[in-house]
A and B are shown apart, each in its own frame.
Chain A
Amino acid sequence: MSLPPWTSRGSCRDAETLVSELFYISGAVAVLATFMVITRTNAVHALLYLVVSLLAVAMVFVTLGAAFVAALEVIVYAGAIMVLFIFVIMMLNVGTAGDAEERHLLAPRFWTGPAFLAAVLLAEFVYLLTRSRNAVIAVRVGPEEVGVALFGRYLLGVELASLLLMAGLVGAFHLGRRLPKEKEGAQ
């Protein structure tokens, strides 16, 4: 596999090789943690590995110079969405019955087919990666750059996403609303 182009640049070489090593280590952690997510039978354990995986991805963002995105990754995904998942699992509290069902689903006849197809795609991906020379592009992206891109060039996308969130919010409100007293009695 060819080295990233900036490893042989001389002056600040040590720092850059260190950063690229950190990149590959955190990438490996992310892949390993994600594998553990799939193979755990206990839902909470799986979610904890998913949190580790998200933290590792945040670390990957830091090594690529996007500390702002890394912080958002931790705050939004690891800190809010995953907590909601755990909250729901705690509410359901399925116990050992859920574990048994999960173990049943991990039988080889369920996963060999998809795993084979995914492996083909992975092989293609690795082949393409080893041929391209600009695998890692390290550019520092701070909060300002993200803000300018979001509210300048991609303003329409941001507005559309906020509309979608609004629709979700209205839907949740509709589902969770309290019925008027007389209707409640009738049901």
Chain B
Amino acid sequence: MSGMIEKLLIVGIVLGGALFIASGLIWLERRLLGLWQDRYGPNRVGPFGTFQVVADMIKVFTKEDWVPPFADKAVFVIAPAVIVATILMPFAVIPFAPALQVIDLNVGLLFFLAMSALGVYSVTLAGWSSASKYSLLGGLRAAAQMLSYEVFMGLSLVGVVLLSGSFSLGRIVEAQQGLWFCIPQFFGLVVFVIAGVAETHRLPFDLPEAESELVAGFHSEYSGMKFGMFFVGEYLGVTLISAMITTLFFGGWMGPFLPPAVWFLIKTFFFICFFILLRASLPRPRYDQLMALGWKVMLPLSLMNIVITGGILLARG
């Protein structure tokens, strides 16, 4: 019975932690963007403006929750819930510390890929059910973009699986004792990071939203907390991809002196800031440029990575 309580406690810590970080990112991103763009960002509410998150939450909860009369109601309501659910699920297989993991599935990595594959539905269906031109265009872009980059994301991880000999994330972290995979799998890392940005449709790859051409893309018709779900879902996605980069390529919880969980948080935080820096510094490509980059650069790169990694492993015996 105590094992059961311990498990529930871990589930609580992981879910609570992920949601806390995601909501904190709303403030962090705006402050960091302000810093990098020579302005203040939100600095009025509470110390350093940290209570801005609370203010935003009150605002988003009390706004009118409106379903357009022309929308497909059931799908319109389900869509924002899908993204949050599919992004929260993979947190169950991430090892935050040797004992701090909800479940160490032997297909953990595939579970992560499966859930991010299902995440596509949220954005696509939101675009379709809104029954508006801009939303539909955003949804179409999202479907094609996320479907394509999912392929490279999966392929970029084959090298990691080859080196560690397992799909279990716990074992992948343990296999990085001595040498983190970011060095032998450098190209895998590059492809994974770019695919991760495209999967979470963050700037510079936020073409499904593209506010300069499509109003707000797939969530143009959303308001109140339904919009809030997409918003939080995006930050949860950033947190998830950062945590996965840490786990797969940067030794997970490994590190000297400090406790494992702290190392994991430091590394994840670093990659979250990297995501925000990308937004602050890069312009958005055109849609065909995005797809061309995917199929003409990322695909050959990840295939080459697999061939070379496999060849070296075979030669070493």
A interface residues with partner B (beta carbon < 8 Å): 42, 44-45, 48, 51, 67-68, 70-72, 74-75, 78-80, 83-84, 86-87, 90-91, 93, 142-143
Contacts and interface: CB of A to CB of B under 8 A. Distances in A.
B106 A67 contact: yes
Contact of B124 (A80, A90, A93): A90
B107 A78 contact: no
Given A74-B114, A91-B140, 10 more contacts: A44-B128, A67-B105, A71-B113, A75-B113, A79-B113, A83-B146, A84-B147, A86-B124, A87-B144, A143-B107
A142 B106 contact: yes
Interface stretch (B51-59, B115-123, B251-259, B285-293): B115-123
Contacts of B107: 67-68, 70-71, 142-143
Interface string B76-110: 00000000000000000000000000000111001
A90 B114 contact: no
B143 A87 contact: yes
A55 B136 CA distance: 26
A16 B17 CA distance: 34
B159 interface: no
Contact of B117 (A44, A45, A75, A86): A75
B174 interface: no
Nearest to A71: B110
A171 B54 CA distance: 55
A143 B128 contact: no
A12 B150 CA distance: 40
A163 to B, nearest CB: 18
B140 to A, nearest CB: 6
B227 interface: no
B127 interface: yes
18 contacts: A44-B72, A45-B74, A48-B75, A68-B167, A71-B111, A72-B110, A75-B110, A75-B117, A78-B117, A78-B118, A79-B150, A80-B150, A83-B120, A86-B128, A87-B140, A90-B127, A142-B107, A143-B167
A120 B125 CA distance: 38
B110 A86 contact: no
Contacts of A48: 75, 125
A70 B106 CA distance: 12
Contact of A83 (B74, B124, B127, B167): B124
Nearest to A86: B124
Contacts of B120: 79, 83
A90 B111 contact: no
B109 to A, nearest CB: 9
B118 A79 contact: yes
B217 interface: no
B128 A74 contact: no
Nearest to A143: B167
Contacts of B136: 90, 93
Nearest to B161: A143
Contacts of A78: 114, 117-118
